[in-house]
Structure 1
């Protein structure tokens, strides 16, 4: 059968748009309307509409992009379910020769007609038609590559100017609405609640790096945030890798990030100071410290009394640790010196924390307890002076680097190896100053780290305890992470567990603890 534009044919409409920031599919809708009008004018029946919305025809690094609707279109044509394709323009079908060739193979076999709205029929059944199509593909490829070059230059200019370049929302900042092409991107605004969490996490990590007995691990911070219902920007629970990426992001220091690296000052406000972020980066990227933190996180206790409670068997006094529970059973505390003490962990922890809360809420008693907590120590290294020194030295050394580069560029005898060695030595000096700043900030953070009792919101605890002790316990655990509550326990008391008795004592509810089986010796 000889086919031409006036022969009634079954047609497939294909539409595509590369970028659809609103998600309303307005661009592909307009394309479809124009294609349907052409089909009506030609007397063709539309049997299918295939849409690739918000999908480019060129993948990263020139690779083939994934276009599900285009693949479905080729399948329909290959099995003979349509005799024609209507498209707004040929560049909607293909942008590269690699996408054109599969279409040519199908057309040579099935004699499908290709009819763009914005140009005449594309005849791929003849050598001349295929030549024209391939030339158009080459022109289209050039346009894409030229557009990519301009886009890269624009992004580089924006980076130098500190402009927000879009992308997923960064924790600590409010969502930024997408802007239309050509408009200036909006400046991200700080989310006060999330920013406070980031500052607290940064202080805790720096304090921990300076003194393992203070601060918190990444695991501890994640656990605390998850217990409070705080989620990542994607709405998922926090894990170490996600938290670490947030703390390492230059964006939280008011800096532009490019491939994860600091690319200079940004237009938005900083959540933490730049020198604090430098210190944080040093801690989190140092291989020795990273290995230490990872092993410390793996060893971090998961139960209140692990390594703190003591065995009450006469003559023992060894610490207890959790373990021994089989699958589906509750965790138990066991004496590390033998098997003579086994207690279910959760009820004991509930009992101990209820007693601690009641003691803190006792009138007059909290004042004595809180008086034992020493105030934070001020002073320490002059971080501002070190930061000023870093800025001066950095500018001086960068000037020397530029002069060095210019000298080698102008000299025919310039040795690239010598240049790289000189550049390496200068960069090492900059890194040494950054390490000094990191150590100084860590020392100050550790010196000013509040004691375990200083962070307790006593009025709120008392209010909740008077209204409902169960609510007070729930709030206590949601507000203060496990490592903080363990430190409070160490400050206040020594807990000794006595071996349990067979059967449930009179007056003790199921799952409860007999008060005389847990001895609490108050140290304050």
Structure 2
């Protein structure tokens, strides 16, 4: 083989903690000295700094890719590396590299003197590559075993971005007093008698001047991320599995964190009509009079004036699974006043009694499952169970526990709605009583079809612009009915 005149030197280092590229420089110096002894001309140096070549790494190596591309294009005719483990730690990648050499016929050398021209030399090189891969895999096993041991000792993962509730650079071991207090206040807002929503918590945190760890305003999703994080409940996980409790303080206890998960999970599916947490009294009752899609209610600001509006969303499924038409957008206040009159009149004429739901006590079953989980974790830590059996059993028990907690929460909500005097519940307009008022309204109103009133109208909308279907009429056979004059005569002149 003729001496190559356009040699590429490849250098790589997995970690450069000081950022000085000293390891890169030492490799390049040794490779240049080898090229000088063999009278090979150096054309270019290809470098990958802080890039692993192990089987566990998924990062792209731009220097290595560019070097192979130049080989195929004929820009270089030789490659020199410090050692084979600098080139790769994957036996499959080494085999592919040797195939590339055989195909394009470029020269290859290392400072350790590997020979790729003979069969024995390629065999020895392949063995060294296999040893390098085994060393990487054993190192990975040792690291994983060490991490698992730390998790079993109650020490959570200390890496990653700062999380709300913990002090910066504390490795999640020290709490931020102000932020952890806000988390606990948010917890009481969610699970307390007020039955707040993540949106309520976001608005409260913003009003207190709190900001996300990235410096932004709080949103529903960012609040959920805080309460969904196992760190918030002091729970240690390893590869997605619950290992135990942290030895460090956390904003919430495990039980409190699991209560929040039960609550958030129960709200993850669409709520039945007249039930579930809502911000507006008739959310879920209003339908588009043209396509039948459920209408949304939200706050809007137009020309400095803030008001509530209900509208047909073009992304909301309507009749037959078709998306909403988007034709209707109305002020919500006028519709709410009309419906309040309907419900109140119906209650005065005939006070409905809400169905009693049987009281269910899940305490014993929940305590039993929690005890079984603790015993299971104890057996696993003592080496009496295999990992696969432990995680499978743990996942099964946690699914059952989650189901029981959801049923317990639903039972409490149902029992809270059992009242004898529906009219007195209806007259209580406090925000905390919104869910009970919705339950009362559902005993009178089945749904409401809302029609468009056109643009530029200054007079109040006609009563016929909404069609109320009462519960009895819906049970006898749904019929679209305009608002009865007896319900609206007193307030027909109010603007909407």
Which of 78, 82, 97 is the aligned partner of 2:91? 97
Distance 1:188 1:32, change over 3 A: farther
Contact 2:55/2:90, CA 8 A, preserved across alignment: no
Distance 1:230 1:137, change over 3 A: farther
Contact 2:300/2:308, CA 8 A, preserved across alignment: no
Q: Separation in 2 of the partners of 1:430 and 1:323?
A: 39
Distance 1:206 1:264, change over 3 A: same
* Local SS of the residue matching 1:141: helix
Q: Separation in 2 of the partners of 1:337 and 1:429?
A: 43
Q: Which residue of 2 aligns with 1:194?
A: 179
Distance 1:240 1:41, change over 3 A: farther
Q: Separation in 2 of the partners of 1:236 and 1:126?
A: 62
Contact 2:297/2:332, CA 8 A, preserved across alignment: no
Q: Separation in 1 of the partners of 2:270 and 2:58?
A: 40
Q: Separation in 1 of the partners of 2:397 and 2:10?
A: 57
The superposition leaves residues 132-182 of structure 1 with CA deviations (integer Å, 9 ceiling, x where unpaired) of 2221222122212222221221111011012243332233223448xxxxx
Q: Which residue of 1 aligns with 2:106?
A: 112
Matches within 5 A, 1:78-93: 78-93=72-87
User: TM-score when scaled to structure 2?
Assistant: 0.56
Contact 2:297/2:309, CA 8 A, preserved across alignment: no
Which of 154, 161, 167 is the aligned partner of 1:162? 154
Which of 66, 69, 78 is the aligned partner of 1:72? 66
Q: Which residue of 2 aligns with 1:171?
A: 164
Q: Separation in 1 of the partners of 2:125 and 2:10?
A: 17
Distance 1:267 1:221, change over 3 A: same
Q: Separation in 2 of the partners of 1:221 and 1:136?
A: 58
Distance 1:337 1:279, change over 3 A: closer
Which of 140, 147, 154 is the aligned partner of 1:148? 140
Q: Separation in 1 of the partners of 2:406 and 2:332?
A: 44
Contact 1:107/1:125, CA 8 A, preserved across alignment: no
Which of 52, 55, 58 is the aligned partner of 2:54? 58
Q: Which residue of 1 aligns with 2:418?
A: none
Q: Which residue of 1 aligns with 2:360?
A: none
Q: Separation in 1 of the partners of 2:298 and 2:312?
A: 15
Structure 2 residues not aligned, in runs of 5+: 285-295, 314-328, 337-362, 415-429, 435-456, 460-493
Q: Separation in 1 of the partners of 2:397 and 2:311?
A: 53
* Local SS of the residue matching 1:256: strand
- Between the two structures, name the one with larger relative contact order (CA 8 Å, sep ≥ 6): 1
Q: Does 1:303 align with 2:295?
A: no
Distance 1:190 1:126, change over 3 A: same
1:273 Cα deviation after fit: 2.4
Distance 1:402 1:220, change over 3 A: closer
Q: Which residue of 1 aligns with 2:249?
A: 269
Structure 1 residues not aligned, in runs of 5+: 178-185, 310-318, 326-330, 339-385, 410-416, 444-482, 488-498, 502-518, 520-524
Distance 1:236 1:54, change over 3 A: farther
User: TM-score when scaled to structure 1?
Assistant: 0.53
Superposition RMSD in Å: 5.3
* Local SS of the residue matching 1:303: strand
Q: Which residue of 2 aligns with 1:449?
A: none
* Local SS of the residue matching 1:48: strand
1:421 Cα deviation after fit: 12
Distance 1:188 1:13, change over 3 A: farther
Q: Separation in 1 of the partners of 2:228 and 2:298?
A: 26
Which of 225, 238, 243 is the aligned partner of 2:223? 243
Q: Separation in 2 of the partners of 1:399 and 1:190?
A: 30
